[in-house]
Amino acid sequence: MIEIRLNDNAYEQDIRELLMAFYPGEGFVYEPGKADTRLTVEGMAAEDRRSFRLRLIFSGEPEAHEMRSLPPELEREAEHADEPILLDYDDRTDAKNKIKRRLYVLLMFATGKTLPWGALTGIRPVKIALTRLEEGMDEEEIARYMRENYYAGKEKTALSIEIAGREMRLLSQMDYRNGYSLYVGIPFCPTTCLYCSFTSYPIAFWESRMDEYLDALFCELDFVAERMGGRAPDTVYFGGGTPTSLREEDLDRLLRGLHERFRVRDALEFTVEAGRPDSITREKLRVLKKHGVTRISINPQTMKQETLDLIGRRHTVEDVKEKFLMAREEGFDNINMDLIVGLPGEDADDVRHTMEEVSALAPDSLTVHSLAIKRAARLNIKKEDYRGYPIINTQEIIDMTARCARGMGLEPYYLYRQKNMAGNFENVGYAAPGKACLYNILIMEEKQTIIGCGAGTTTKMIIPGENRVERAENVKNVEQYIRRIDEMIGRKEKLLADGNPLPARP
């Protein structure tokens, strides 16, 4: 346990997130004496709010590690580690960065560890590089900026800049500022995966009531279509859940209903997650093709059968191959595959084997995730049951997946991080030239208003010129979503109300 003791909670979250990166899996307390703690992190803002004193107090012997050959920016900070941090406590961004840099250095000496992303804990590190690129900074300046402000490592900085450059080129081909994208949530799956933290309900329970869900969804889509005044979305994305869990006739009804309301054929791309191979049939693939779906995702996560069984996927490695080849036969020329590094019990050889198997199938894009253990996931709730299955993720494994992806002719085009990720790494999307998913870039870099419809979805409206996002959330519970659909529409209506900026393209 770690105690966090602050006289002002303004930066509590930033402090806690960096602590989590150094001490994964650790719990936190905020009241002295409430639990056995090995470390107290004390942060005291001065009364005039012009300085902040940060101290680590260990319950036993103070921990100290010698750190050799530090880069100059870390050496500089280390020299002043015992002094108060001079800052303007009310300049939030600057103060936050200064506090995090100091805490990083203190924790680095305490643990003997450095982190690949340095003091960066946010989920969108590429946004930092992309914003600077758009402002006209050159790559060298951005690299220096990321090193000096966040202590980000050389490799992660270079990867961020490479991806930002690719994103900028891709975005320059579309008029994203004047458009919007549509996300439709289908929160049903064949079974629930061990690590799942998404809104997902077993399809078997809802199949007989699917008309109720689709009726509610169509009410919401009616409102959005009317509000958008006939404008075609730039991108359409069906996620969830696994949309292909729906019966063929329900999928057909859903897609027909979508076309009746939106000019989907004018969209730049239309993705449907067909993630679980156990949800795919040839007939469903034909329904998707008939309705103009341009990109699908078939996700093995791993090509090791024992792991698939352990994580509750209820499909085989052979199913992955069979459904992938079936989709090719049905004419899908843009297929993504998702993988997870750090699945329980898997080591570097297992990941290498998965990469070889996937490489033989030659998908058009690949997303390599680092396992994130979310609070609501079964893997967390029942963690005692999985004690015998270590979670292994290292820079070497991540590097190997990157080499394999590039060897398949795929280039990194978007990246994001999550909380509680194994190894504190990142998720990277790779794609063949011309096969990148624009929706992924738009949502990750918060470039465009995304209208979310369905249970558990969020509408994110970008406020132009203000670097701000406003949100309207739908309830996650399907029963509630159906019952309270008018309220969900009301939330959207309020967000998209007159006076708020709206995409203006006819």
Nearer to ligand SF4, 236 or 308 (CB): 308
Shortest CA distance to 235 belongs to which of 449, 478, 75, 16?
A: 449
Do β-strands 295-297 and 180-186 pair in parallel, antiparallel, or remain unpaired?
A: unpaired
Stretch that binds ligand SF4, among 23-31, 139-147, 175-183, 192-200 (CB under 6 A): 192-200
* Contact between 192 and ligand SF4 per CB under 6 A: yes
* Contact between 198 and ligand SF4 per CB under 6 A: yes
Please list, in sequence order, all residues whose beta carbon lies within 8 angstroms of the beta carbon of residue 50, skipping any fewer than 6 positions away: 86, 87, 88, 89
Helix (H) / strand (E) containing 51: strand 51-58
Going from the C-alpha of 465 to that of each of 37, 177, 468, the distances in angstroms are 45, 11, 8
Please list, in sequence order, all residues whose beta carbon lies within 8 angstroms of the beta carbon of residue 281, skipping any fewer than 6 positions away: 248
* Contact between 241 and ligand SF4 per CB under 6 A: yes
Q: What single DSSP character describes residue 421?
A: B
State how far the Cα of 162 lies from the Cα of 159, in Å rounded to an integer: 5
DSSP H helical ranges for 112-247: 125-134, 139-150, 154-171, 203-206, 210-227
Q: Write down the least CB distance from residue 188 to ligand SF4, Å.
A: 8
State how far the Cα of 367 lies from the Cα of 435, in Å rounded to an integer: 13
* Contact between 114 and ligand SF4 per CB under 6 A: no
Q: Write down the least CB distance from residue 439 to ligand SF4, Å.
A: 17
Per-residue binding string, ligand SF4, 460-479, x by CB under 6 A, is --------------------
Stretch that binds ligand SF4, among 37-45, 88-96, 155-163, 185-193 (CB under 6 A): 185-193
Among the listed residues 189, 398, 437, 441, the single contact to ligand SF4 using CB under 6 A: 189
* Contact between 456 and ligand SF4 per CB under 6 A: no
Q: What single DSSP character describes residue 78?
A: H
Q: What single DSSP character describes residue 245?
A: G
Helix (H) / strand (E) containing 19: helix 12-22
Nearer to ligand SF4, 200 or 307 (CB): 200
Stretch that binds ligand SF4, among 12-20, 161-169, 239-247, 485-493 (CB under 6 A): 239-247
Tokens coding 506: 């006819």
Among the listed residues 275, 277, 452, 454, the single contact to ligand SF4 using CB under 6 A: 275
Nearer to ligand SF4, 147 or 313 (CB): 313
Q: Which amino acid is at 196?
A: C
* Contact between 4 and ligand SF4 per CB under 6 A: no
Nearer to ligand SF4, 145 or 206 (CB): 206
Tokens coding 4: 């966090």
Stretch that binds ligand SF4, among 52-60, 72-80, 215-223, 235-243 (CB under 6 A): 235-243
Q: Write down the least CB distance from residue 72 to ligand SF4, Å.
A: 43
Stretch that binds ligand SF4, among 195-203, 249-257, 342-350, 433-441 (CB under 6 A): 195-203
Annotate 318-340 with b (16+ C-beta within 10 A) or e (fewer): ebbbebbebbeeeebebbbbbbb
Among the listed residues 160, 181, 200, 393, the single contact to ligand SF4 using CB under 6 A: 200
* Contact between 448 and ligand SF4 per CB under 6 A: no
Decide: 478 and 201 in contact? Cβ < 8 Å.
yes
Nearer to ligand SF4, 196 or 436 (CB): 196
Stretch that binds ligand SF4, among 74-82, 113-121, 191-199, 423-431 (CB under 6 A): 191-199
Give the orientation angle of helix 248-261 with respect to helix 210-227, to 10 degrees: 20
Residues that bind ligand SF4 (CB under 6 A): 189, 192-193, 196, 198, 200, 240-242, 275-276
